[in-house]
Amino acid sequence: MRYVCILLLGLYFLFILSGCAMTHYKAKKFYNDGLYEASIASYEQLLVLDPEDVNAHAGLRRSRIAWIAHSLLEVRFMRMAGNYHGSMDLLLDIYNKENQWKVFPVGAEAYTQEEETRHAQDAVALLVSQSLSQNYPLRAQNNLASYSSFFQGEEDKSFFDTLKQRVFLGAQAHCEYYKTQLSASMYYFSKFITQYCNVWSLTPVDMSEQLIAMQQQFYSSVWVANSAQGMPDQFETRVKKAFMDQLENTPWYHNEGLKSIDFTLSGSFNYEHKEVPKDLTHAYTVSIPYEVSWVEKKEEPSEPSKGIWAFLEVVVAVASIFTDSDRREVDNGNGTITVYETRYRQETRHTSYRATEHTEIFQTNLAMNAKMPASYLELSDVTNDRHSSISHGNNMPSVNLYPEAVNLIGPSEFLQRRINEQAKQFRQHLINDWDKAYCQAEADADDFEFQIFASTESVEQTLHNIENLFRCMEIRNEKSIPVELQNWFKSHIGMNYEQARLLMENRKPKEE
């Protein structure tokens, strides 16, 4: 066994060494073929296996330098072909790789990078100017943030600061314009404008008027008038808490809201617990021994084992001493032996015992009614449920039978489950009301083209529609954004809804 282990270990190391040699060969071939990314990946793989591999370190550095030189030429070719965005993105990738690898170009490659960086700076300035001319300061801000790596030197930083100031002034004018258009009914749009302006740390919107207006629409409490019969103690409190928890998970809730949803609860509840003695049967299994025999040829004595094999035979012999055996052999004197072996079969047995069967009967006939924000809610709960369980005190370990405690639901737990189900329906009604009020309302946001000097009536109507769309997004996810809202963001912010939200949360947006 020892030789087998040594052999396997040797084969393992041989496999590793041959694998490393093959990877070295592939890395060099990739490099010679100009496939620098594949060469880099191969050398990195080698260094994972052996961080001290000097040849892999040298090959990796050589491949990275070659990738940078080759990529810089690609940047130039793309720029000259008119693919400015592609060239800028590749140049940005080069900057990031250089900082990550701590490998920087020298000589002609360094000159190429400086020259392409100057072109990239001019392109960034042009993108910023175009975005600001279209009243898209957030897009201009994204242009600067995305390509800030191109502005490293002192003069470059000064140029970058000038662009930032232009963006700031454009954003300031944009924010001030929208602040003048906000009415007291535009609570959610005001929240958006506050977040939007906060990108540049501008003065937030004074939302006191909007909050006062929304307080008239928000709900902060649930009340229950209970006339139902047969309810356990604290039932009204439980109903109120369950429904309040669901209300708080809808956009209709605000802790300063002035409205309440008032429920009337009527009907009845009946609970009955019956106990009936029962004679039950418990099944268990036992092992029954039996003996089988057969005749086989007697083994001839062999030469004594030597070395490692003798040692293994000793180990097996010693182990057999401590191992239970149901086998014995009888020499028949004619070159054969009779083998006797004890085996076991499983048989099922039964025993009777006395137990108590518990039956719980739950009967509900309840109705809950409330005036909802945009509808009238009627919830009913009519049930006739039964729950059975067994209890006994028999303790018979020999047959694997142990005492069993009664498992009762009880009236309080049963009603709590029913309340929770009704509360979920209540929440869904609230979401449906919100959808009906704001998501299904007509929105003409895509019909309005942004103009600073547009008529007050046109701007007010459009922003009213946008307010409804922002309210709609309180119950929507980014997979179901209203088309009108996307159109408005593209027309007035210069990017789609998801990109704008990511930027305002200081996260990098995905490119369209």
Share of the chain above pLDDT 90, in %: 69
Give the tokens for residue 112.
């190429």
Report whether pLDDT(11) > 50. no
Calpha distance 47→70 (Å, rounded): 24
Tell me the mean pLDDT in the region 450-472.
66
Which pLDDT belongs to residue 477? 78
CB 281 within 8 A of CB 350: yes
User: Which residues on adjacent β-strands are paired with residue 401?
Assistant: 396
Count of other CB atoms within 10 angstroms of residue 440: 10
CB 377 within 8 A of CB 424: no
Which pLDDT belongs to residue 17? 45
Tell me the mean pLDDT in the region 285-305.
83
CB 343 within 8 A of CB 292: yes
Share of the chain above pLDDT 70, in %: 86
Calpha distance 486→463 (Å, rounded): 14
Calpha distance 414→282 (Å, rounded): 30
Calpha distance 64→117 (Å, rounded): 20
Which pLDDT belongs to residue 429? 93
Which pLDDT belongs to residue 373? 84
Which pLDDT belongs to residue 510? 53
Look up residue 253 and give its DSSP letter.
B
Report whether pLDDT(305) > 70. no
Short-list 35, 98, 39, 114, CA closest to 70: 35
User: Which residues on adjacent β-strands are paired with residue 274?
Assistant: 359
Element at 151 (helix H, strand E)? none
CA distances from 158 to 161, 163, 164, 379 (A): 5, 9, 10, 67
CB 229 within 8 A of CB 269: yes
> Rounded to 5 degrees, what are φ and ψ at 269?
-140, 135
Tell me the mean pLDDT in the region 152-167.
94
CATH number for the 219-276+350-436 domain, one of 1.10.150, 1.20.81, 3.30.1150, 3.30.160? 3.30.160
Tens of pLDDT along 98-142? 999 999 999 999 999 999 999 999 999 999 999 999 999 999 999
User: Which residues on adjacent β-strands are paired with residue 292?
Assistant: 341
Which pLDDT belongs to residue 136? 97
User: Which residues on adjacent β-strands are paired with residue 276?
Assistant: 357
Report whether pLDDT(326) > 90. no
Tens of pLDDT along 308-325? 555 555 554 554 444 445
CA distances from 86 to 66, 74, 100, 453 (A): 20, 10, 21, 37
Q: Is the dihedral of CA 317, 321, 327, 328 positive or negative?
A: positive
Tens of pLDDT along 27-45? 888 999 999 999 999 989 8
CB 389 within 8 A of CB 406: yes
Tens of pLDDT along 373-407? 888 999 999 999 999 999 999 999 999 999 999 99
Report whether pLDDT(511) > 70. no
User: What's the number of CA atoms in the CB half-sphere (13 Å) around residue 344?
Assistant: 7
Report whether pLDDT(461) > 80. no
> Rounded to 5 degrees, what are φ and ψ at 376?
-115, 125
As a three-state string, the secondary structure of 33-83 is CCCHHHHHHHHHHHHHHCCCCHHHHHHHHHHHHHHHHHHHHHHHHHHHCCC
Residues 6 or more apart whose Cβ sits within 8 Å of residue 347: 285, 286, 288
Tell me the mean pLDDT in the region 77-85.
94
Average pLDDT score, the chain: 86
Tell me the mean pLDDT in the region 9-25.
55
Which pLDDT belongs to residue 70? 95
Q: Is 283 helix (H, G, I), strand (E, B) or coil?
A: strand
CA distances from 354 to 113, 241, 407 (A): 91, 43, 17
Which pLDDT belongs to residue 5? 45
**CA 176 to chain CA mean position, Å:** 38
Report whether pLDDT(9) > 60. no
| Residue ranges of domains in the chain | 2-155, 219-276+350-436
Tens of pLDDT along 433-453? 999 888 875 444 444 433 333
Full DSSP string of 384-438? EEEEEEEEB---BGGGTB--B-----HHHHHHHHHHHHHHHHHHHHHHHHHIIII
Which pLDDT belongs to residue 15? 43
Calpha distance 327→340 (Å, rounded): 6
Report whether pLDDT(479) > 80. no
Report whether pLDDT(90) > 90. yes
